Structure 1
């Protein structure tokens, strides 16, 4: 048991693989909130974990509530409404995230996942507030789930390698471009359903993943905003101090003094000691 926990901890937090990191974080948060929800239910406190998540963690559909819940544009993508919600999101993330990581790097995965979730959420809020048909019940609607972020990964992989195939039960080998298109079509149809906000977030995430790969193929990598810039070092170009030479026990200062005396008074005015020092220096 200890080895299993240690292995999971390593894969999620220390392996450096963003696929395991996001799956782990989503599952851990779901398990924690679910366990707390069970105890709240047993305690009959009248408090609802689902209501708390929708009100304070989920992304509000109403723009008027967004300024005071600005943080939800990030938090909403790590909470889920039920076990099937988190299960299918994590399966999709694992399958298509593995393909993504076979061709791209961790920095790009982080960018597509987070940017897909943020853009998908804001896209959904924008559409819900633009079209009058949705205006009736926006005040109580909020969006939760990693679907927008997962869809960004799915469509990034499908745009990058559209002919890559997966083995599906009863269907056999299917190219991922067809799987992605079916996802998109179902979400488009669901725009007219009670879960229009979630479907619109899925579409927004899909658009982000598609546009990221198209931009990457044209030579622009949006994920470079996550790239660490090297720190600049200031190097002072100072000349090292000149070390005074020592000529067999006679310092440079003494030699300079003797030479000055010769230039002013002549060699004959040197003392026997000064002549000896000059002689020693000349032999160095």
Structure 2
């Protein structure tokens, strides 16, 4: 049993952050399937008055799936997007976009249902990772719109893919309003909320503004609250004499690497991933790790 536990821990440690999110989603889905229960307390309600009672649901809803096809397609999207994303950007940025996409999708969903109850109907609940996944997808499409991907026998620019998906989501909203029994207006609203976040995030990042830094600091402060304090014996501190202007050699190396990454990403946004040299692709791959 100990060996099995260690093997599982080792495999999990080798996953990137988005693959770990996939693992969490699958575990929760299997628990719901085996226990034959619904995690109602973690689903997002459509009214703000009910949301106030369980504010955590603005994030937890994105980890709840009951339908096998629902989780299958969401996790497949997340897996392939994750492989592309982690090779280009940091794991923390991936988490920022994922969770902010879920929050944006949930907020747009509640806003529309609260302001237009006659249009969208009565009480409803939102669940699934689609909004968060949309945020990652549209971010990539907006950040490097001219990057081409292979689709069967021809190439498609990423912005074509993003635009087509947004149009389908808009159609899905109106279809859900017209046919509430068979449609999914609420889910498509969440898709659009996530897509909007991804688009704004990408356009601001091109300008040099990382709008997820505030959320990142908040998330770090929350996780630090649950970490055990590490108080060890007092140690003698020696001054590092290898500093120049208050910076170490490691600081300069990190700065130079980040500048190189920024230059490569700018090249991708203008000319596409295929314009990179083999050395630049290898450098991005190593940086993604």
TM-score, structure 1 normalization = 0.67
Distance 1:3 1:222, change over 3 A: farther
Per-residue deviation at 1:211?
0.7
Distance 1:103 1:189, change over 3 A: same
| Distance in structure 2 (CA, Å) of the matches to 1:171 and 1:4 | 44
Matching of residue 147 in structure 1 with residue 130 in structure 2: yes
Distance 1:73 1:102, change over 3 A: same
| Distance in structure 2 (CA, Å) of the matches to 1:78 and 1:219 | 31
The correspondence of residues 62-141 of structure 1 with structure 2, limited to 5 A, is 62-134=47-119, 136-138=121-123, 141=124
Secondary structure of residue in 2 paired with 1:68: coil
Equivalent position to 2:158, from 154, 176, 185: 176
Distance 1:118 1:181, change over 3 A: same
Greater length-normalized contact order (CA 8 Å, ≥ 6 residues apart): 2
Secondary structure of residue in 2 paired with 1:185: helix
| Distance in structure 1 (CA, Å) of the matches to 2:27 and 2:171 | 32
Determine which structure has more spread, i.e. the larger CA radius of gyration: 1
In structure 1, the partner of 2:228 is: none
Is the Cα contact below 8 Å between 2:112 and 2:120 reproduced in 1? no
In structure 2, the partner of 1:206 is: 195
Is the Cα contact below 8 Å between 1:150 and 1:205 reproduced in 2? yes
In structure 1, the partner of 2:205 is: 216
Is the Cα contact below 8 Å between 2:19 and 2:82 reproduced in 1? no
Per-residue deviation at 1:80?
1.0
**Root-mean-square deviation over aligned CA pairs:** 2.7
| Distance in structure 1 (CA, Å) of the matches to 2:127 and 2:206 | 32
Report which stretch shifted further, 193-202 or 97-106. 97-106
| Distance in structure 1 (CA, Å) of the matches to 2:47 and 2:92 | 32
Gaps of at least 5 residues in structure 2 are 222-289
Is the Cα contact below 8 Å between 1:11 and 1:20 reproduced in 2? no
In structure 2, the partner of 1:10 is: 10
In structure 1, the partner of 2:150 is: 167
Per-residue deviation at 1:171?
5.3
Per-residue deviation at 1:200?
0.4
* CA deviation string 1:22-72 (max 9, x = no partner): 1111111111211111xxxxxxxxxxx24xx3x322100122211112121
| Distance in structure 2 (CA, Å) of the matches to 1:179 and 1:11 | 33
Gaps of at least 5 residues in structure 1 are 38-48, 230-284
